[in-house]
Amino acid sequence: MTYILDEIDRRILAELQRDATLSADHMSERINLSRNACWRRMRRLEDDGFITGRVALVDAEKLGLGLSVFILIRTSNHDRDWLARFHGAVATFPEITGAYRMSGDLDYVLRARVADVKAYDRLYQRLIAKVPLSDVSASFVMEEIKETTVVPVELR
């Protein structure tokens, strides 16, 4: 059975996206619902897969990973073996924080966090050693205008 979110569920999700450490007590105060009802809803949202995890957001620059890179990939090979090899390779690099199969001119876009251009080059060299790629280019982020993990949960 697919559960339909109501306004209270959406408010809970919005609050948890701002602060995943909120207890049922604090959540109940924020959304004006009893503690037990709040706890049950939070539990159901997790059980039903609306909440897929709880994490701490880390400042990459303070960890010495000040360069954000988008890696643009084209490949001439799209067979099952190559795809499995590519997926496996991407999964082994902690610097790669996002990987997307694209429509249009590009086949894949990878998002990575590295210390600097030299660190990106090392990542690039390791990547092309693991899987053959037709064309790889990179765009370095000059200014981060908006970066968020928040998914909009308002009623439609």
Q: Is 98 helix (H, G, I), strand (E, B) or coil?
A: strand
The pTM assigned to this predicted structure is 0.87
| CATH architecture, range 61-140 | 2-Layer Sandwich (3.30)
pLDDT class of 3 with cuts at 50, 70, 90: confident
Task: Report CA torsion sign: 122, 128, 131, 134.
Answer: positive
* CA–centroid distance for 141 within its chain: 17
Beta bridge partners of 111: 70, 98
Q: How far is CA 79 from the centre of its chain?
A: 26
pLDDT in tens, 59-85: 999 999 999 999 999 999 889 999 999
Task: Give residue-wise pLDDT tens across range 42-57.
Answer: 999 999 999 999 999 9
Tell me how far apart the alpha carbons of residues 79 and 32 are, in angstroms, rounded to a whole number: 54
The domain spans of the chain are 7-47, 61-140
Q: Is the dihedral of CA 91, 96, 98, 99 positive or negative?
A: negative
Encoding tokens for residue 128? Answer: 């092309």
Query: Among 1.20.120, 1.10.760, 2.40.10, 1.10.10, what is the CATH number of 7-47?
Result: 1.10.10
Query: Tokens representing 90?
Result: 């991407």
How high is the pLDDT of residue 4?
A: 86
